[in-house]
């Protein structure tokens, strides 16, 4: 009887690549259910990062309460463990008044932490974090890859060596502890007191890439250059080592033209979308829908 009671609550998890249209569909689902949305995006939670993260505006939110959006200063380097703790707390709050919550995002590790939990990790050295962030900002991903290959060859063989965030985490960890981060990754799955319904949204690649390119152009017209320039003095922060920001920092440094930086944002965004799809497609528990289907909201709700 206890297990039955625990699983009266549900989350609808809406995941997929950048620019596929997750926010609008999640809001529509939440409106139908008269519930709230919990973000699973690692950057939209920062107050100063709005245009470059495609943070949903008040109008975009459609009167639906959103959690983990626009709540922390960019200097707060939240970890995956922080997200797991915060997200479970937010869900407890939502479940006080609702039987279903909508979770929406594209940060694979955050979603994994929410659904399965993460392994406890030793503390790392803040000075090393700053040094690694600065090294990546100055020398790029090739420097990160070479450093990780030399200092943590186990991770280099097993890990995501095209993902700067994962590389930085591995390098910081091995320099702080002297051990490979892989030694602490037990892959033990935690049981959650709610049912998880996983939904994936996708589009044909040419359409998705066109949407990404158009969105970057829209971001520039909305003032992305000014937003990133306002953060230039803090460019070494881990939170700002992300697509849409690092490319413009290079432009401000005089390393490239503005047109080149914008083209790189588009290219890196497309590459990121490809990595996201690879990550999400691994999960066979996900039901996939076309984001362009006019009945997609009804299809998602039919899974309840």
Rounded to two decimals, the pTM is 0.84
Taking alpha carbons only, the member of 39, 34, 103 closest to residue 63 is: 34
- Let me know: does 241 contact 168? Beta carbons within 8 Å: yes
CB proximity list for 282: less than 8 A, separation 6 or greater: none
Q: In what order do the strands lie in the sheet with 66-67?
A: 66-67, 37-39, 100-105, 10-15, 195-202, 287-290
Both ends of the chain: CA-CA distance in Å? 21
**Fold assignment, 2-119+188-205+270-301:** Rossmann fold (3.40.50)
The whole-number pLDDT of residue 160 equals 79
Please tell me what DSSP assigns to residue 140.
-
pLDDT digits (tens, 9 = 90+) for 67-125: 999 999 999 989 899 999 999 999 999 999 999 999 999 999 999 999 999 877 778 88
- Residue numbers of the chain with a pLDDT score lower than 70: 1-7, 186
3-state class (DSSP) for residue 167: helix
Cα(301)–Cα(304) distance, rounded to whole angstroms?
Answer: 6
- Domain positions in the chain are 2-119+188-205+270-301, 126-184
The whole-number pLDDT of residue 166 equals 83
The whole-number pLDDT of residue 2 equals 41
CATH no., domain 126-184? 1.10.20.140
Cα(87)–Cα(159) distance, rounded to whole angstroms?
Answer: 25
């Amino acid at each position: 009887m206890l297990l039955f009671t625990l699983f009266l609550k549900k989350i609808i998890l809406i995941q997929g690549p950048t620019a596929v249209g997750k926010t609008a569909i999640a809001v529509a689902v939440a409106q139908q259910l008269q519930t709230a949305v919990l973000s699973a995006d690692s950057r939209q939670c920062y107050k100063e990062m709005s245009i470059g993260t495609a943070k949903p505006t008040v109008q975009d939110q459609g009167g639906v309460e959103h959690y983990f959006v626009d709540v922390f200063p960019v200097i707060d380097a939240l970890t995956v463990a922080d997200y797991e703790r915060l997200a479970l707390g937010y869900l407890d709050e939502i479940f006080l008044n609702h039987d279903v919550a909508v979770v929406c995002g594209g940060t694979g590790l955050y979603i994994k932490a929410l659904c399965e939990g993460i392994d406890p990790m030793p503390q790392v050295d803040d000075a090393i974090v700053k040094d690694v962030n600065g090294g990546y900002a100055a020398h790029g991903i090739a420097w990160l890859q070479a450093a990780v290959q030399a200092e943590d060859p186990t991770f280099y063989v097993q890990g995501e060596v095209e993902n700067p965030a994962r590389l930085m985490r591995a390098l910081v960890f091995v320099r702080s502890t002297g051990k490979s981060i892989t030694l602490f990754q037990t892959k033990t799955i935690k049981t959650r007191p709610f049912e998880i319904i996983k939904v994936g949204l996708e589009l044909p690649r040419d359409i998705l890439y066109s949407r990404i390119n158009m969105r970057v152009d829209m971001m520039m017209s909305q003032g992305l250059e000014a937003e990133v320039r306002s953060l230039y003095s803090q460019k070494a922060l881990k939170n700002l080592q992300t697509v849409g920001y690092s490319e413009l920092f290079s432009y401000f440094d005089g390393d490239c033209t503005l047109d080149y930086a914008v083209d790189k944002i588009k290219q890196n965004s497309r590459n990121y979308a490809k990595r996201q799809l690879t990550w999400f497609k691994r999960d066979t528990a996900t039901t996939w829908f076309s984001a362009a289907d006019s009945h997609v909201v009804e299809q998602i709700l039919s899974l309840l």
